[in-house]
Amino acid sequence: MSCPVLVDSGGTNLGSVRYALQRLGVDAPLATTPAQLRAASHVILPGVGAAGPGMQRLRELELVETLRGLGQPVLGVCLGMQLLFDASSEGGETCLGVIPARVEKLAAAPGLRVPHMGWNRLLHSGGHRLLRGLDADAHAYFVHSYAAPVGPWTLAAAEHGQRFSAVVQKDNFYGMQFHPERSGAAGALLLQNFLSL
Q: Please tell me which residue, 41 or 109, carries the higher pLDDT value.
A: 41
**DSSP secondary-structure letter at 112?**
B
Q: What would the mean pLDDT of 18-26 be, rounded to a whole number?
A: 96
Q: Residue count of the chain, please give it.
A: 197
- Domain 5-196: give its CATH code: 3.40.50.880
Q: What is the pLDDT of residues 113-142, one digit of tens each?
A: 999 999 999 999 888 999 999 999 999 999
List residues with catalytic annotation: 78, 179, 181
What's the confidence (pLDDT) of residue 99? 98
Give 39-89 as a 3 state SS string.
HCCCEEECCCCCHHHHHHHHHHCCCHHHHHHCCCCEEEECHHHHCCEEEEC
What's the confidence (pLDDT) of residue 12? 76
**pLDDT grade, residue 13 (50/70/90)?**
confident
What's the confidence (pLDDT) of residue 126? 85
What are the extents of the domains in the chain?
Answer: 5-196
**pLDDT grade, residue 9 (50/70/90)?**
confident
**pLDDT grade, residue 33 (50/70/90)?**
very high
Give the integer Cα–Cα distance in Å for 37 and 44. 10
In the predicted model, is pLDDT for residue 57 greater than 60?
A: yes
E strand segments, the chain: 5-7, 30-31, 43-45, 74-77, 85-88, 93-94, 99-105, 116-121, 123-124, 139-144, 146-147, 154-159, 163-170, 173-176
